[in-house]
Each structure stands twice: as structure tokens, then as C-alpha cells.
Amino acid sequence: MNADLRRLFKKGAPEPAEIDAFVHGNRFPLVDEQDVTFVFRGHADAVYLRCWISGLDTAQPLQPLADTDLWAATIELPKGSRVEYKLEVVHGDHHELIVDPLNPVLAHDPFGANSVCQAWGYKRPYWTNTKPDSRPGRVESLTIDSQAFLGHRDVQVYLPARFRENRRYSLLVVHDGNDYLSYAALQTVLDNLVHALEIPPLIVAMTQSPDRLREYAGDDRHARFLAEELLPAMTDAYPLIDDPAARGVMGASFGGVASLHAAWRYPEVWGKLLLQSGSFAFSDIGRHHRGAVFDPVVRFMNEFREAPGNPAERIYMSCGIYESLIYENRSLVPKLQAEGIEVRFEEARDAHNWENWRDRLRNGLSWLFPGPQWMVYE
């Protein structure tokens, strides 16, 4: 148990006023060098910590503390960790998942919000925050008439600050682009890295699928759309460098599968890949155990692992060590390196979420698209 919490109970059950002072005088959860104590205040039949760390039980019970309305649970959490969680509060047959009322730090995703535990040593990267001296790029829309999908597809296009029609730019295609913008601060990161000359000014095409679990799972229509429709449309609309080494594809989770598959199907089109927590499920023998939605992914990955070829010259990969996908991502690295591909793989003390992917963007983008080392005069 946390030392401050022990002191509160040193003389037995504290008075409500003492608990009030303790709650108002601390930041929650209570973080120590090697562990974290989660605290809930309120009347309940049971309270559980719900966090998604592979290898730990999803539900960790909080214990009621001696004749008070405080509950607490302590778990080991290594330095530098970042974990998203909720609390499950039980009253009779009613179970409610809530964000931690004592913790104002939240992370958002398409399903809502989670509380965030920032363990000892974790700090949000400064380059993910808006900086007043970083000139903002702009985002505009481009509609593509797709024969692959028999309909229109809208693409959000990021143009860097100081965009000029008489310059040529590298292109990065981002799967789930709207989510990267909303939950991973992608535009802010791009603005800051371009301003700091850590990456060159890029044009970024951000796609969004209406049926991502199908289209991203090794679907040849999607690979065709990127190479034969999106790329020509972007080339017609914007001044791009005509070289695979200046073109990249990026995605997280199923978007990582879609990126790898697109480059595998069109190996001379895309020169760089940025793959975050890729859902690279495979089966060495027998059936996998990830559910039917992974069946097409497993078919593709089994085929890919047999004959990887050379989908790109450089591949940056990242994955959280608290994800169940860490094994699949680790095992893919030597497969790619054996084909002569330059691979950089980064592990993080985090899980399968957008802020994990946000925190890895600087390393991935600056390695794949190293920035210029020149003075800018205007």
C-alpha cells in the first residue's frame, strides 16, 4: 500500500474530514517508483480495477479500507508505464464501468474515454502538444471515384505550412486518418516535427474505411485502391516526388495489416511502412484463437510469412508490451530482416490504444522521413 495511505490509517479508521483532506491533497492514482495504488471513494458492494494488460487478470479487486468509504488496490507497474483503465462499481446486480472520479487525466478513442495511469517516469512527449511557434498546416478534402470499391471515397489531405505548388513533396498515406487526427494529435505532431526540421514538409493522405475490419484484413480491393486510385489522384492534385522512396503507408492495429498487405501486393509502389501494434495474427499449425474476424488476417499473414518478398525498403514497427499482439509483432521483425529490409522496432510500456501510437510517431516519422538540416529564410 502507498505510504501516504498507510499514514492516513495509522491510528485506525480516519474521520470523514481527514479523508476529505487526503483526497484533496493527493493526485490519483497514487504513484510510487515500482507500483501504483488505485483509490475509489464511495459506497458499493464491490469495486474492480479494469485495465487491459496482457498477462494480468482484466479485473483486479479493490479492497474496502477499515470502516470507511475508501477502497484501494495496489499493482506493480514498472517505470515509464502508461495504462488506460476504468473502474467497475457493483451495487447488487448492477455493474457500472466508470472513469476514475479522482483522476482527471483521460484518453479518448472511438468508443469513449478511459482514465489514464501515468506511472513513475512517464511524461507526455512535449511534441504532442500545440506549440505557438509551430506554423499549422491545413487539412482539405479530396473525393476519389473508386472502381475498386464501386463508389466514392473521401480522403483528408494534410498540407504542411509553407506549402508551395512549385515544390515536390513526399507522400504518407495514413489508415484511420480521422482517428489519428482526433485521438493521436497527428496534425499537431506533423506541425511540430516539420517546424523543428525533424521531418521534411510532407503531404499526408488520410483515409477512413466504412468497413475497416473487412477492407483492412488483407483485402485486394483495398491494396488496389491505394496503388491504382488514391496514388494517381494524389499525383494529379498535388506536387509529389515520383519515387517509391518518397512514399509511405502507415496504420495501427488492423490498419497496420492493411499497410503491410498493400505494400506486399504492390512492392514497387511504397518504399516505407510505419506499422503500429499491427494485428499480425498467424497460425503455425491448427487454428488460431482470436475469433472469426481474424480469419482473413491469418490467411494473409500465413501466406506473407511463407514468402515476405520485399514490400518496402524501410519499415518502422512499434508495439506495447502490455498488448497480446506483442508476440506476433516481435516474431515478424526477423522475418523482414531476413529479406534485407531495414527494420526498426520499438517496444513501449503501454497497450493497444491511440496515445501509445501517438507517443511513437516522432521516432517512426523522423526515421522514415529524416528532416532537412538547412536554415529556413523567409
**Could you report the per-residue pLDDT of 246-282, keeping only the tens digit for each?**
999 999 999 999 999 999 999 999 999 999 999 999 9
Q: Which of 124, 194, 164 is nearest to 354 (CA)?
A: 124
210-241: pLDDT as tens digits: 999 999 999 999 999 999 999 999 999 999 99
Residues 335 and 298 placed together within one structural domain of the fold: yes
- The CA-to-CA distance between both ends of the chain, in Å, stands at 58
pLDDT at 288: 82
pLDDT at 353: 98
**pLDDT reading at 286 higher than 80:** no
**373 inside domain:** no
Collapsed DSSP state (helix, strand, coil) of residue 166: coil
Q: Provide the b/e sequence for 92-117 (b: ≥16 CB within 10 Å).
A: eeeeeeebbebbebebeeeeeebbbb
Structure confidence at residue 374 (pLDDT): 33
pLDDT digits (tens, 9 = 90+) for 189-204: 999 999 999 999 999 9
* Largest CA-CA distance found in the chain, in angstroms, rounded: 75
Of the candidates 282, 353, 363, 265, the one whose C-alpha atom is nearest the C-alpha of residue 317 is 363
- Statement to judge: residues 22 and 100 lie in one domain: yes
Report how far residue 87's alpha carbon sits from residue 40's, in angstroms, rounded to the nearest whole number: 8
Q: Residue 340 and residue 308: Cα distance in Å, rounded?
A: 11
One domain, residues 193 and 318: yes
- Confidence (pLDDT) at 372: 79
With a cut of 80, say whether residue 162 has pLDDT above it: yes
pTM of the model: 0.95
Q: What confidence score (pLDDT) does residue 58 get?
A: 86
Radius of gyration of the chain (CA): 23
Of 69, 102, 118, which marks where a domain is finished? Answer: 118
Measured between alpha carbons, how far is 275 from 273 in angstroms, rounded to an integer?
6
Q: Residue 272's domain spans which residues?
A: 126-368
Residues 171 and 242 in one domain: yes
The three cell numbers locating residue 282: 498467424
Q: 88, 118, 148 — which closes off a domain?
A: 118
Distance between CA atoms of 185 and 125, rounded to whole angstroms? 11
Asked if residue 205 and residue 56 are part of one domain, the reply reads: no
Same domain, 166 and 101: no
108-161, pLDDT tens digit by residue? Answer: 999 999 999 999 999 999 999 999 999 999 999 999 999 999 999 999 999 999
For 56-87, write each residue's pLDDT tens digit.
888 999 999 999 999 999 999 999 999 999 99
Is residue 375 one of the residues assigned to a domain? no
Residue 97 CB partners (closer than 8 Å, separation 6+): 50, 86, 87, 88
Same domain, 329 and 202: yes
Query: H or E segment at 321?
Result: none
Supply the pLDDT for residue 377: 35
* Peptide bond just before 104 cis, omega within 30 deg: no
**Last residue of some domain: 101, 118, 135?**
118
Kind and range of the H or E element at 71? strand 70-76
Domain count, the chain: 2
* Mean pLDDT across 348-377: 87
CA 74 vs. chain centroid, Å, equals 26
Are 42 and 138 members of one domain? Answer: no
Are 101 and 135 in the same domain? no
The pLDDT of residue 373 is above 50: no
CATH code of the domain containing 69: 2.60.40.10
Residue 48 confidence (pLDDT): 98
CA dihedral 78, 83, 89, 95 (to 10 degrees): -130
Q: How many angstroms separate the CA atoms of 317 and 346, rounded?
A: 6
Residue 24 class from Cβ within 10 Å (0-12 exposed, 13-18 middle, 19+ buried)?
exposed
Q: Which residues pair with 106 in a beta bridge?
A: 115
- Residue 225: its pLDDT value, please? 98
Per-residue model confidence as pLDDT tens digits over 308-344? 999 999 999 999 999 999 999 999 999 999 999 999 9
Half-sphere exposure of 277 (CA within 13 A, CB side): 21
Question: The CATH number of the domain where 229 resides is what?
Answer: 3.40.50.1820
**Cα(243)–Cα(237) distance, integer angstroms:** 17
* Per-residue model confidence (pLDDT) at position 129: 98
Residue 376: pLDDT band (50, 70, 90) is very low
Where is pLDDT greater, at 166 or 377? 166
Same domain as 137, residue 78: no
Residue 9 grid coordinates: 490509517
On whether both 189 and 285 belong to a single domain, the answer is: yes
User: Are 11 and 55 in a shared domain?
Assistant: yes
How far is C-alpha 72 from the geometric centre of its chain's CA atoms? 29
Interhelix angle 186-195/361-368, rounded to 10 degrees, is 50
DSSP 372: P
